[in-house]
A = this chain, B = another copy of it.
Amino acid sequence: MGETVTIEDLAREAKAATIPLAATTGAARDEALQAVAQALRERADVLMAANRRDLAAAEADGLAAPLLKRLKFDATKLDEVIAGVDSLKGLPDPIGLVQSRTELDAGLILERVSCPIGVIGVIFESRPDALVQISSLCLKSGNAVLLKGGSEARHTNRALADTIRQAAEAAGMPAGWLQLLETREDVAAMLALDTLIDLIIPRGSNAFVRHIMQHSDIPVLGHADGVCHVYVDVAADLDMAVAVARDSKCQYTAVCNAAETLLVHASVAADFLPAFQAATAGDALELRGCPRTVELIGGTPADAADWSAEYLDAVLAVRVVPDLDAAIAHINRYGSGHTDVIVTADAAAAERFQARVDAGNVFWNCSTRFSDGFRYGLGAEVGISTNKIHARGPVGLDGLMIYKWRLKGQGHIVAPYADGARQFTHRRLGCG
């Protein structure tokens, strides 16, 4: 890229690409995905050599082992991302779906039809495989994309972006549909381009996502926090509650859909908490309890900060609550709107919980850890959103889509309807 090319230039080029991209056929985009998968396979040596450069620099800089592991892009990772691109090909084309069809009057037919949003800005941290995943999701859905990865993966990201863009463009996709940003200053510039970029998807730590959300007028799809709860109701099967709470917390602690707070109805606390403690004896789990919890099973006394904490670790806040409504109130006050679970045999209690907990995912008698696009069967996951508009919870390809209204007439004008000479029929038609 030349020295004088600005991020605004890149965004403008991406926006120009959205027009022909939105008009491509699903078959053409699937062929481009096929070409991308093939190019990734053919350029394996180049990609892995670029990654070795990044790894060597990162090791010299003393990057911690878990980060080095995330940065690594080897044959296994390559196979995984190619399999991901291949799987997208099999999904139905998300463009052009007729969502509603109405006859407004004889010969005047209105359709609401899905279309791409336009230009998506994606910012992710070190894992280079995220670049392949998100750019292929954008290609499948007909969106142009501006990508910014972690700077420690600079050479890998550049090699991947060049490979993907060139392969897709050679397969007929419009020039400029994929743009790579490389510096923090590029990100700051991107966040200001609200007339050119339609949606920002940040992937990374909560602090990072919160920073993005606070520094842009562009809509942001994502979640800063995952403070998920399991509430054990008075009517819970306690064996089930132990299993669900343990899986929610311990099955994998470092993820946003792991439980961070356990709420227990006062009437079952004396039975449930010792059983839970016994079941998690091998999990090296630290409990931070309210006074009643500490009285029953010991553990560290919780302070106010624990109720809002996203530990992402083998730590669990535990609070005994007087009743269902106190549990709901606790969750609505301290939760992050991500995923909350009730364990109960009482259908009315479950209904009350699921109607009144203000979260994207409200579960009954199952683990918080199911809150995931792949587990939901969405086919592909764009991310998890705690937004209250557009898309909520695990977001599949349809989170990258919007719609336009197409009206087809035969010279129809409004005047006779305004005069009362003609009436609308507003007849619902099938969408097939």
Contact = CB atoms under 8 A, between A and B. Distances in A.
Interface stretch (A39-47, A67-75, A84-92, A356-364): A356-364
B370 A104 contact: yes
A392 B390 CA distance: 11
Given A214-B217, A247-B414, A394 B390 contact: no
A375 interface: yes
6 contacts: A243-B411, A251-B414, A360-B405, A363-B409, A366-B410, A388-B402
A364 B408 contact: yes
Given A406-B363, A413-B244, A389 B23 contact: no
List 7 A-B pairs, minimum CB-CB distance, nearest first: A366-B409, A377-B426, A247-B413, A240-B411, A369-B414, A23-B355, A198-B388
Contacts of A412: 244, 365-367, 370
Interface residues of A, number: 74
B403 A392 contact: yes
Contacts of A418: 251-252
Interface stretch (A14-22, A261-269, A287-295, A308-316): A14-22
A208 interface: no
A237 interface: yes
Interface string A188-205: 000000000011000000
A22 B358 contact: yes
Contact of A247 (B19, B394, B415): B415
Given A366-B413, A409-B366, A388 B118 contact: yes
Interface in A198-245: 198-199, 213-214, 217, 219, 221, 237, 240, 243-244
B424 A361 contact: no
Contacts of A221: 389
A184 interface: no
A406 B364 contact: yes
Contacts of A102: 376-377
A391 to B, nearest CB: 8
A393 interface: yes
A77 interface: no
A377 B105 CA distance: 11
B22 A405 contact: no
A110 B361 CA distance: 10
A332 interface: yes
Nearest to A23: B355
Interface string A154-198: 000000000000000000000000000000000000000000001
Given A247-B413, A362-B404, 15 more contacts: A102-B376, A118-B358, A118-B388, A214-B217, A217-B217, A237-B411, A244-B413, A359-B404, A360-B405, A364-B407, A370-B407, A371-B405, A388-B402, A390-B402, A393-B405
Contacts of A364: 406-409
Interface string A3-29: 000000000000000111011000000
A62 to B, nearest CB: 33
Interface in A324-376: 328, 332, 350, 352, 354-356, 358-367, 369-371, 375-376
Contacts of A367: 409, 412-414
A376 B110 contact: yes
A104 B358 contact: no
Nearest to A95: B355
A405 B376 contact: yes
A138 to B, nearest CB: 14
Contacts of A411: 237, 240, 243-244, 365-366
